[in-house]
Structure 1
Amino acid sequence: MSRKKRLRVILTNILLFGLLFGLVSLNKEILRPSLSDIPIVKPTLGCFPNFIAAYIIGLFFVNGALMMEPMHSRLLVYLGALFVFVVLTAEELRPMWGASTHYDVLDIVASGVGALLAVFTYELAVIRRKRASVCASSESEP
């Protein structure tokens, strides 16, 4: 990977980390306190940090994989998403960093959905890239 691509991956991941921090803080400080009295919203907002953490941290791997050779990029994304899911599940079962205060199966489900969505995002990006290259090559042919 060239230096320019590496810098792009690093900067994008820093931006994603900031987005993750901002969304989790927004949920904790504003959304949960103001919407906690609505029965269906309370569990949704409770699971949101796990979902968004799994998705955005999964996107860290997607971001790097899209800059790599296609041969190994899929493996990186799938293993990265699995790793994120396992770490978030372990945190839910046995809190290590204080992110979880009590066990909730919905948090584990939300982590799984977020990790799967990151994989799905990668697959969509690969399909779009293939279509773009096919369109570009068909337009260049006389």
Structure 2
Amino acid sequence: MSLIHEDDRRRVVEVIRRAVLGSRPENLNIRTKWLVNEESLEVTLTLAPFYHSDNTLNQYAFIVTDLRSSQGDPAVKLKIMMARCNLSALDLSESTGISVQTISKLRNGRIQKPQRLTAELLATELGVKPQDIWACTR
């Protein structure tokens, strides 16, 4: 709960209660607290309760179905798209031929405008257009 924006916490608790009492999954949209570089995320998720065979609550899981940056930071967009595709920097490096160091610099925001070919290779591997991540390239 510490990552959830204060304004959304009460609603999250209510959705958890409703899902557990109703024995069914519930969908939810929340905002995170400020993260790195004063960036927050809009998260779409499903809360699913799991029960023991005697119908007592075992646990519940949050299943993230979508992540969106509330601002346009390319580093955050790149991290989100990599997470959606379940790709690490090493995976991207191996599939694109771009060094892990360059990918790390892009993810950390130390490179704001990648070279055009770099942006195209990464975007293609992530299944998006370069403009979906970077406003402009070199």
TM range (shorter): under 0.3
Higher helix share: 1
TM-score computed with the length of structure 2 as normaliser = 0.25
TM-score computed with the length of structure 1 as normaliser = 0.25
- The higher relative CO (CA closer than 8 Å, separation ≥ 6) is in 1
